[in-house]
Structure 1
Amino acid sequence: MSGSVEKKYYLNLPMWPEFDIFDKTVDGLIPSARIELWEDYDRVVRFYCDNDHEGNYVFRGQKHYKWQLEPTLDRLVQGAVTEDIATKQLRNFKLSTRGRLQDKSVLNSDSELWALGQHHGLATPLLDWSLSPYVALFFAFEGADDPTWLDGDTGELNNYSRTVFILNKSFIQDLIDGEDVTQAGEQLQIVEPSIDDHGRLVNQAGLFSFAPYGEILESSLEKHLADSGVDIDDVTEVAKYICRIHIPNKPDTRQACLKKLRKMNIHHASLFPDLIGASGYCNDLIRDAILGASKHLLYSEPANSLISTESEEQSSEKSESNKKHRLDKANVKGALLDALIIHDSIYKSVIPKDLMYVVDELLSFINEKAGVDWYKKESILARLRNVVRRALRKHKFPDDYLNDAAENLIKMAADKSEEVDREACKSDEGGE
């Protein structure tokens, strides 16, 4: 690495379609690139799919930019799984399925049995992929950021990007074409199960990759590329076989992305044709309802509300300079509301309208009492923490997430205020 290093990892990477391996502790052996906006993903899809009638490429979405291509069983043993461990795991699963299988033919194939276990929570050596790039995008963004992905000192989100891996499926299939590979784990391979008892594989256009025991996918692939005469030191060449696209993980990105995918009929209910999928779909709908109500003010504030609001007459009495530093509720309310939802379980215990009240109380304090540069003053921050925590407790916000949600909300408000202040300063300097 040379030159200055950006704190947000993906900003160190070249803009797609250029690739680089900036830091092997993050990228591994996989060429990586970034796109500026999640909407730019459409260009990536067109590049890989418009003329790919044979389905040569498969896609995999992951929620954290540091996560490697690591199967669940590898994670369990903290390294490439050995044949001994895999054999024990598969044997135990086979014994545990006795009396629970409708189609016992699955027991005749290790690959089919692994695939069955994969979709029922078994730790396996398989990695899920999809022929659909948009299904991969869904899995990259479908989960909210975990509270542990926040910096403990600053409260700032440190999961700067979510990623989609792209793999040349045809190259791997060609490796074993005509060869007698009878056992899973003997060779790098693509597994396309014939048995799909819950319909998930069909709905997700799903298949799996399987690395040889004792190896990981990328190192095994690199070895085969070298054997095939590919210059593995040339990231541009390697990117034709495997690469990773980093997509900025911003507060408003996730909901906008999932909303578009829902219009494409890509959502929990379509990808998981069971009650789990139905529940996930309903959770997505209520998130949109909350955000939509906050952005369009589709609720009535009671006349005796404790939330302090500013009338047009009061606003006109303030100086133009002070107005420039105020947060516009219509512009920031959606992002602030989203900042409170640090875990999906919050939707089950808090009424959406109550969350709007908390955000309103925060904005009222910032706009009427905090003053310019409030986010730089520890005394004001301390007061604001008390205001937010008190409001959250009043509306029965879950105790387990209360402090983290308060810090996340204040951090988001601080970022928004800093942006407004910068624009106000530019306006003043320009004589406006």
Structure 2
Amino acid sequence: MSHSDRASSLETAEEKRQRQAKRAYLDALPKHPEFVLPNDDIDGLLPSAKVASWEELLKILQGPDFKKTKYDLVYRGHAGHDWQLSSTLGRLFDGGDIPSDKRAKLLRQFKLSMRGRGYDLGPLQTDEEVWAVGQHHGLKTPLLDWTRSPFVALFFAFSKYENQSETENNPSRAIFCMNKTKLEEDLGEDFIDEIFLEPEDHRNSRLVNQSGLFTIAPDGQDNLVSLIVNRLDDAELLGSVDETSVDDHMDKFLAAADVALNKTAAEGSGKPEVIFSVSDRKRAKLLARYIFKLHIPNSITDRKGCLEALRQMNIHNGNLFPDPGGASEFCNDWLERLLADEKDEVFEEQKKQDDRKIAAAIKPKTQVDITDDVSTLLNAFLELEVGQADDLAQDISNKVSEASSLDWFRFPSKRVVVKRAVAQALASGPGDIKPDRKIDELIEMLLEKYASAEEKSI
């Protein structure tokens, strides 16, 4: 690693505090179907909750609350835990409110720039449909993409690749859910027509394959969430913070949550922070009937597992983007998965090898009894009285055991030590060498006998 790489990988105390604060925030969120109104830089005005995992989310999405035929639910996935519901054009301006003149001039410029480029905008009936064409081709627009498939939204939440450092600073991915039917019932069909756009132009194949549609806040009211909340407040459908109450369970939860983040802050800058500045549980529950946000724990393995599961549902780049760009992304994703699988296979094989070595190291060795063979050799080479061969064989074995070390028979330097022990035992033992025998031959035979026995015991 170069000096610059090491420097960039170092985490400052403030960066660590911020990372811990993000994690504390996620940990403090209630589990679905409970909600809180954080009113902060992460979740804004939206009622928010968390799920334990993407697997749990799949089960929730297949439950009765999300499968009622009478409800037209739409979803949006975000890779960043703190990404707001702001259009690509709205992100260029503070608060997300797009100046009317900038909006009009950009649309005019796009219409002029599209002339002679093989896409006829003439058949399109409204400016909103022109914006939709621009959105499809990368223009910054006041539109937000939504889908009627929660699984497509989940794909977009996890499709963005992150390295380990990015993942540690992004503790969760997120999906948003909006109940289009409930909004229409309580705020009227005109409001739905005001903020939703479903282009009839058949040339946007991506929109069809993604079960897609758009939201677009009216000119001058470009913050979608604020628009919805304000309209619901005007209709007195959410109550107010002063009028509604917090039950004992939520009081305890919020107290614990604040303690968690205050502790994290104290460990960093020492400045107290508040996780949830709006603690009205009833208001959160009422607003969640129309729109809410769910946080999904994020990790490199979570991303891989989630995308694999969605791929089995035929939800992937190749299907959602039926064009050359989608084909390219699909192939890039295939290569990424292939390399990841190969890396996992190498890791697993290395782990198996290590496990085998550990097992061999702790496994009791099978002792090979060569006492009779040693005694036979001693009787063949030495002049011994009855019983002396057995005693000498035991003495030699003891000396070999003291002199031997791990895998001694494999290394010449270690073999010499054991050979010397055998020779010393013979020199101090009873009996003389027979006339037709040589002591060096006996030593070599005994050494090979012990080496063979040791090798068999592994």
Shared fold, TM over 0.5? yes
Please name the residue that 1:238 is paired with. 287
Deviation at 1:54, TM superposition (A): 4.4
For 2:68 and 2:321, the matched residues in 1 are separated by: 26
Deviation at 1:224, TM superposition (A): 1.3
Do structure 1's residue 282 and structure 2's residue 282 form an aligned pair? no
Do structure 1's residue 257 and structure 2's residue 292 form an aligned pair? no
Tell me which amino acid in the other structure corresponds to 2:42.
Answer: V
Do structure 1's residue 96 and structure 2's residue 113 form an aligned pair? yes
Do structure 1's residue 66 and structure 2's residue 82 form an aligned pair? yes
Distance 1:211 1:178, change over 3 A: closer
Deviation at 1:36, TM superposition (A): 0.6
Q: Give yes or no for contact 1:106–1:112 (8 Å, CA) kept in 2.
A: no
For 2:22 and 2:99, the matched residues in 1 are separated by: 38
For 2:361 and 2:347, the matched residues in 1 are separated by: 28
Tell me which amino acid in the other structure corresponds to 2:206.
Answer: R
1:220 aligned residue (184, 209, 227): 227
Please name the residue that 1:201 is paired with. 207
Please name the residue that 2:93 is paired with. 77
For 1:14 and 1:300, the matched residues in 2 are separated by: 40
* TM-score w.r.t. length of structure 1: 0.63
Distance 1:110 1:54, change over 3 A: farther
**RMSD across aligned C-alpha pairs, in angstroms?**
3.0
Tell me which amino acid in the other structure corresponds to 1:211.
Answer: A
TM-superposition CA deviations, 1:57-93 (whole Å, max 9, x none):
1000000011100100011233311221111111111
Tell me which amino acid in the other structure corresponds to 1:119.
Answer: H
Distance 1:300 1:67, change over 3 A: closer
For 2:291 and 2:305, the matched residues in 1 are separated by: 28
1:162 aligned residue (157, 168, 173): 173
TM-superposition CA deviations, 1:156-181 (whole Å, max 9, x none):
x11000000001222445646368x9
Name structure 1 gaps, 5 residues minimum: 151-156, 182-186, 302-308, 321-432
Higher mean C-alpha displacement, 57-66 vs 167-176? 167-176
1:117 aligned residue (110, 113, 134): 134
For 2:121 and 2:56, the matched residues in 1 are separated by: 45
Deviation at 1:106, TM superposition (A): 4.4
Residues 181-200 of structure 1 mapped to structure 2, 5 A cutoff: 188-200=194-206
For 1:310 and 1:97, the matched residues in 2 are separated by: 62
Shift >6 Å, 4+ stretches: 298-301
Q: SS at 2:299's partner residue?
A: coil
Deviation at 1:26, TM superposition (A): 1.4
Q: SS at 1:26's partner residue?
A: coil
Tell me which amino acid in the other structure corresponds to 1:203.
Answer: N
Q: SS at 1:27's partner residue?
A: coil
Tell me which amino acid in the other structure corresponds to 2:172.
Answer: S
For 1:232 and 1:48, the matched residues in 2 are separated by: 27
Residues 417-428 of structure 1 mapped to structure 2, 5 A cutoff: none
Identity %: 38
Tell me which amino acid in the other structure corresponds to 2:179.
Answer: N
Deviation at 1:134, TM superposition (A): 0.3
Do structure 1's residue 177 and structure 2's residue 189 form an aligned pair? yes
Please name the residue that 2:411 is paired with. none
Distance 1:299 1:283, change over 3 A: farther
Please name the residue that 2:9 is paired with. none
TM-superposition CA deviations, 1:252-292 (whole Å, max 9, x none):
00011001111101000000001111111122222322233
Q: Give yes or no for contact 1:73–1:124 (8 Å, CA) kept in 2.
A: yes
Name structure 2 gaps, 5 residues minimum: 1-19, 241-282, 365-458
For 1:8 and 1:61, the matched residues in 2 are separated by: 22
Distance 1:59 1:313, change over 3 A: closer
For 2:64 and 2:194, the matched residues in 1 are separated by: 22
* TM-score w.r.t. length of structure 2: 0.59
Q: SS at 2:132's partner residue?
A: helix
Tell me which amino acid in the other structure corresponds to 1:225.
Answer: L
Q: SS at 1:14's partner residue?
A: coil
Q: Which has the higher contact order (CA 8 A, sep 6+)?
A: 2
Distance 1:310 1:229, change over 3 A: closer
Deviation at 1:53, TM superposition (A): 1.9
**What is the number of equivalent residue pairs in this alignment?**
299
Q: SS at 2:62's partner residue?
A: helix
